[in-house]
């Protein structure tokens, strides 16, 4: 008995029947069982050459039903085009049942930024919300491994994290960025990347003496000994936020617990509609 003829659909090792045999006598292929949609799919799959007319409709901006598209220059990139997708931020937020945003935690080294970020992520996870943390040290293990701690590179470090955080927010996630980010100008630039009020600046206002007493990584000790130059709080300034959304600080000389700090931020998110979509 003869096997039905097959054709490749652009996938490695993948084959599907394209019709049915007309019987032993005819010895010919009957195409009546072939669905027109299969032909369209086959033309669009990788490895198959689309028709000239089809390619023209897809790529020619002057074809009927298409609008004129203008190539742009952004920074050092030339001849680039922004491509829109029918699945946008609103659709992704509805799927996740939350609103994408950036929670930017700033403060001195040792103030507890990473601890707060993890506590916040954990509490939101328990409540069924999707988050992602961009930690200042973690991103330097990969994305920003080519950057040093001089002024220019620190500014570029913040810019890159801001751009990535923007993408996460656009994806509908609650992105938690925890970095010293000592300068207002750089934090404000990250805020300006988002077109709405989805940038939430959290100032972890813990006194320098408390942070230095903690010194979890031993960096203050090295800075005081002159082994680290340009260390924030020692020989480099920290510019406190002037109009941040949330300030977390000591109460009666005691620092709040990570859970209490996380609850303060979650309360803000809930009141401002970020935990539903």
Catalytic residues: 181
Closest CA to 241 of 193, 204, 192: 204
Residue 48 exposure: Cα atoms within 13 Å on the Cβ side = 17
Cα separation, 135 vs 223, in Å, equals: 22
Angle at 269 between CA 268 and CA 273, to 5 degrees: 120
Burial-class residue 256 by CB neighbours within 10 Å (0-12, 13-18, 19+): middle
Q: Are 234 and 220 in contact (CB under 8 A)?
A: yes
* Strand bridging mode 77-80 / 29-30: unpaired
Reference 106, options 186, 221, 173, 174; nearest CA is 186
Q: Residue 206: helix, strand or coil by DSSP?
A: coil
- Identify whether the C-beta of residue 147 lies closer than 8 Å to the C-beta of residue 140: yes
- Which DSSP state fits 254? B
């Amino acid at each position: 008995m003869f096997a039905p003829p097959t054709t490749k659909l652009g996938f490695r090792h993948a084959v599907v029947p394209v019709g049915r045999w007309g019987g032993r006598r005819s010895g010919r292929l009957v195409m009546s069982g072939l669905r027109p949609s299969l032909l369209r799919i086959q033309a669009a799959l990788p490895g198959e050459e689309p028709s000239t007319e089809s390619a023209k409709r897809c790529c020619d901006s002057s074809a009927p039903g298409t609008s004129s598209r203008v190539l742009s220059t952004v920074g050092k990139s030339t001849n680039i085009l922004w491509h829109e997708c029918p699945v946008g931020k609103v659709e992704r937020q509805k799927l996740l049942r939350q609103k994408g945003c950036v929670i930017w935690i700033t403060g001195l080294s040792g103030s507890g930024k990473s601890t707060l970020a993890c506590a916040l992520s954990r509490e939101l996870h328990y409540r069924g919300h999707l988050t992602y943390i961009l930690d200042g040290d973690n991103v330097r293990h990969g994305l920003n491994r080519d950057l040093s701690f001089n002024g220019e590179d620190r500014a570029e470090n913040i810019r890159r994290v801001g751009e990535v955080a923007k993408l996460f927010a656009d994806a509908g996630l609650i992105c938690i960025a925890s970095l010293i980010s000592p300068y207002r100008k750089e934090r404000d630039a990250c805020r300006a990347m988002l077109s709405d009020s989805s940038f939430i600046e959290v100032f972890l206002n813990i006194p320098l003496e408390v942070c230095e007493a903690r010194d979890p990584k031993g960096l203050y000790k090295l800075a005081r000994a002159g082994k680290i130059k340009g260390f924030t709080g020692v020989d480099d300034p920290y510019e406190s936020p002037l109009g941040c959304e949330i300030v977390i600080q000591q109460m009666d000389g005691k620092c709040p617990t990570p859970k209490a700090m996380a609850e303060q931020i979650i309360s803000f998110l809930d009141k401002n509609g970020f935990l539903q979509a």
